[in-house]
Amino acid sequence: MKKITIGDASRQSGVKVPTIRYYESIGLLAAPSRSGGNQRSYEPADLRRLVFIRHARELGFEVDAIRTLLTLQDDPHQSCASADAIAKARLADVEQRIRSLMALKVELETMVEGCGHGRVDQCRVIEVLADHAQCTHSHH
Amino acid sequence: MKKITIGDASRQSGVKVPTIRYYESIGLLAAPSRSGGNQRSYEPADLRRLVFIRHARELGFEVDAIRTLLTLQDDPHQSCASADAIAKARLADVEQRIRSLMALKVELETMVEGCGHGRVDQCRVIEVLADHAQCTHSHH
DNA sequence: CTACATCCTCTAGCGACTAGAGGTGCAAGA
DNA sequence: TCTTGCACCTCTAGTCGCTAGAGGATGTAG
């Protein structure tokens, strides 16, 4: 069997080399065996784990949540209630973020549209920032 | 005129006390005069600046962008092209974020809906994370 | 005068990496 | 065989925008 170096693992998983070492240092990925001159040598299972982690990070899961998801994956006979709860919490968070970003978008659009491209003292961008009362939304 | 302590400034601007000191340390807010036993004493103009900063932060502007916006505000005869550009860049960023969060939401919803609340080996949450090919969207 | 809140400075920590220094290992071409 | 040059190693420090805490000084109310 050919040995998988950290560089190969990086290319095959899409996780950068220093990030792989970082994941090892925080215990998200088990330390692999070393071959020859102290170089890390990975197994296919490690690659799958890295892809899992990358995908979860792309979905915005925090490292702690991923830690839990990984232990669940390691023991497939457990109830998946925890995984479900984590995903639901993340979904709620994403929905909340979308709501505030939408409000923010409206506010920024008003600012940009109101800018007459003249001097700063007529600029709505600066004006709105200086005087919160001018906001269309007052939720923040 | 009564002296405005850092605590008053905090209450009136909505910026926390350590954050005000932090803003001073990074040069976002000028160091105020000190009165008596070395305590900071603010002017009304400082309060307006703090509100400006807080509002800009709430809109997601980075400290560097705020620095530029503040220098623009200080010189109202300048062209507001920079302010406009900063706000437009921020708007584009917000729109991009909304788009990716929407895609993410769809993916999370699929995961959560697909969870049969049984054991982990039938859980779609874990499954989707382990195998990226199962994503409805493939942009990431 | 005594509490007690508020202020001061300074350092360290958060999350999730990223960058760089300074050194070793390894495979391929001359 | 030697050398070139990339990939690897460890370690520390930096990123961003704060936040927390230690340890001490000051200000105010009763």
Taking only residues 5 to 44 of chain B, the set having a beta carbon closer than 8 angstroms to any beta carbon of chain A reads none
Q: Mutation target for A interface from B125, B134, B137, B140: give the one with most A CBs within 10 A.
A: B125
pLDDT score for A15: 97
Among residues A73, A133, A137, which one has the least CA distance to residue A100? A137
pLDDT in tens, B15-51: 999 999 999 999 999 999 998 899 999 999 999 999 9
Contact A80 B123 (CB under 8 A): yes
- Distance in Å from C11's C1' to B106's CA comes to 44
pLDDT score for B67: 94
Residue A33 buriedness (CB in 10 A; 0-12 / 13-18 / 19+) = exposed
Phi-psi region of B14 (alpha: psi -120 to 50; beta: other; left: phi over 0): left
- Concatenated DSSP letters for A8-76? HHHHHHT--HHHHHHHHHTTSSPPPEEETTTEEEB-HHHHHHHHHHHHHHHTT--HHHHHHHHHHHH-T
pLDDT in tens, B61-72: 999 999 999 998
CA distance B90 to A107: 11
Q: Which residues touch strand D (CB under 7 A)?
A: A 5-8, 10, 17, 21, 38-40; B 16, 18-19, 22, 35-39, 57, 62-64
Start-to-end Cα distance in chain A: 58
Lowest-confidence region among A2-6, B69-73, B116-120:
B116-120
Contact A97 B94 (CB under 8 A): no
Among residues A42, A65, A9, which one has the least CA distance to residue B126? A65
Q: Which CATH architecture has domain A1-78?
A: Orthogonal Bundle (1.10)
Q: Mutation target for B interface from A97, A108, A115, A127: give the one with most B CBs within 10 A.
A: A108
Predicted confidence band of residue A133 (pLDDT cuts 50, 70, 90): low
Whether residue A136 is predicted with pLDDT greater than 80 in this model: the reply is no
pLDDT score for B79: 83
Predicted confidence band of residue B112 (pLDDT cuts 50, 70, 90): confident
- Taking CB atoms within 8 Å and a gap of at least 24, the contacts of A95-104 are A95/B105, A97/B97, A97/B101, A98/B98, A98/B101, A98/B102, A98/B105, A100/A139, A100/A140, A101/B94, A101/B97, A101/B98, A101/B101, A102/B98, A103/A137, A103/A139, A104/B59, A104/B60, A104/B94
Predicted confidence band of residue B137 (pLDDT cuts 50, 70, 90): low
pLDDT score for B140: 47
CA distance B64 to B80: 17
CA distance B127 to A55: 11
Whether residue A57 is predicted with pLDDT greater than 90 in this model: the reply is yes
Lowest-confidence region among A78-87, B35-44, B109-118:
B109-118
Predicted confidence band of residue B59 (pLDDT cuts 50, 70, 90): confident
> Structural domain boundaries of chain B?
1-78, 79-140
Whether residue A84 is predicted with pLDDT greater than 80 in this model: the reply is yes
- Distance in Å from D30's C1' to B123's CA comes to 65
Contact A88 B58 (CB under 8 A): no
pLDDT in tens, A105-125: 888 888 888 887 777 888 888
Whether residue A8 is predicted with pLDDT greater than 90 in this model: the reply is yes
Q: Of A55-69, A74-88, B99-113, which has the strongest mean pLDDT?
A: A55-69
